[in-house]
Amino acid sequence: MPVSVVLSQSPRQDPARRDFEEQLVTMLIMEDAKEVHVVSHLEHLRQDDTGRLCLEGLTAHVIALTWLPPAEAFGLLQQLGVPGRFGRTSHTREAPEAFAGIAHPRAIYCLNLSDFETVDACREEVGRIDREQAVQVFSIGLGTSNIGSAPAPRAATVAPAAPPTPASKPATDEADKADRAGAPAEAASATPRENSPEVADADAANLVSPLTAPMTDWDDAALDQLVDELDEMEGI
């Protein structure tokens, strides 16, 4: 939560206070880059006053620069619709008893300008409060997320399963398959089937023609008988 600086002008027409206020506002805005809201004296703010509407619209932590004691300024801010808890400063380390029990997420730091001899001293206190508040916010942020608590379990991330792919068979299976597929083919090529052209050609080559077959004794006798029969037929 950021910090807003509110300067409540002195009710007295004192040139020294006016000069102090002007220098302080200028340095806070130009040198320190602070957001500064200038309003009338807190006791003089009315219901429809623009300064009061400005205060009611504040949502950040507040550093109130007034010419009043811190407890009195804090009480007036509560009445003007600026709720918050009493913030500790270098000049007020403990909250007054009347405001000690107030619990609020927003802190209101009240500084009495009469306590500072120079503008730079007031600027230094404003800067210290701003830095302290920034450190508190940072520490709270760490405490709620990491410090004193176990890290939140992370949800398991499951990657989408890849579509199943056919498992490649071992090389031995492929070789066996090739052997099984090739063996019959080789056997078939090595041993022709009975009704194949190769078998027919081989059978034809192996057939013995009567004209070319060698003559045996039995064949000579048969031939002689045949010749005799032919001769007899011619004689008739």
* Chain centre distance of CA 73: 48
pLDDT at 158: 37
Q: How many CA atoms lie within 13 A of 62 on its CB side?
A: 30
- Tell me: pLDDT of 178 over 90: no
Confidence of residue 186 (pLDDT cuts 50, 70, 90): very low
pLDDT at 205: 47
Confidence of residue 211 (pLDDT cuts 50, 70, 90): very low
- Tell me: pLDDT of 116 over 60: yes
Q: Please check whether residue 8 is in contact with residue 108, taking contact to mean a CB–CB distance below 8 angstroms.
A: no
Average pLDDT value for residue range 156-170: 45
- CA–CA dist 70, 145 (Å, integer): 35
- Which of 45-49, 125-129, 176-180: highest mean pLDDT? 125-129
Window from 10-14, 78-82, 89-93, 230-234 with minimum mean pLDDT: 230-234
pLDDT at 135: 77
Q: Which of 110, 116, 67, 114 is nearest to 89 (CA)?
A: 110
pLDDT at 139: 47
* Chain centre distance of CA 216: 106
Answer with the residue of higher pLDDT: 224 or 171: 224
Q: Please check whether residue 36 is in contact with residue 5, taking contact to mean a CB–CB distance below 8 angstroms.
A: yes
pLDDT at 15: 96
pLDDT at 149: 41
pTM: predicted TM-score of the whole model, two decimal places: 0.56
Q: Please check whether residue 44 is in contact with residue 9, taking contact to mean a CB–CB distance below 8 angstroms.
A: no
Q: In sequence order, which ranges of 6-118 are alpha helices (DSSP H)? A: 15-30, 50-56, 70-79
* CATH assignment, 3-145: 3.40.50
pLDDT at 170: 46
pLDDT at 217: 52
pLDDT at 199: 46
H or E stretch covering 205: helix 197-206
Q: CA-based angle 131:68:130, to the nearest 5? A: 5
Record the tokens describing residue 61, joined without a space: 């932590």
Q: Please check whether residue 127 is in contact with residue 82, taking contact to mean a CB–CB distance below 8 angstroms.
A: no
Confidence of residue 43 (pLDDT cuts 50, 70, 90): very high
Q: Please check whether residue 8 is in contact with residue 73, taking contact to mean a CB–CB distance below 8 angstroms.
A: yes
Confidence of residue 101 (pLDDT cuts 50, 70, 90): low
* Chain centre distance of CA 210: 100
Average pLDDT value for residue range 188-216: 47
Q: So where are the chain's domains? A: 3-145
Average pLDDT value for residue range 60-68: 96
Q: At what angle do helices 119-145 and 15-30 cross, to 10 degrees?
A: 40
pLDDT at 53: 93
- CA–CA dist 107, 125 (Å, integer): 15
Considering only the C-alpha atoms of the chain, give the largest distance between any 2 of them, rounded to a whole number of Å: 185
- CA–CA dist 25, 5 (Å, integer): 9
Task: Indicate the burial class of 222 (C-beta count within 10 angstroms; 0-12, 13-18, 19 or more).
Answer: exposed
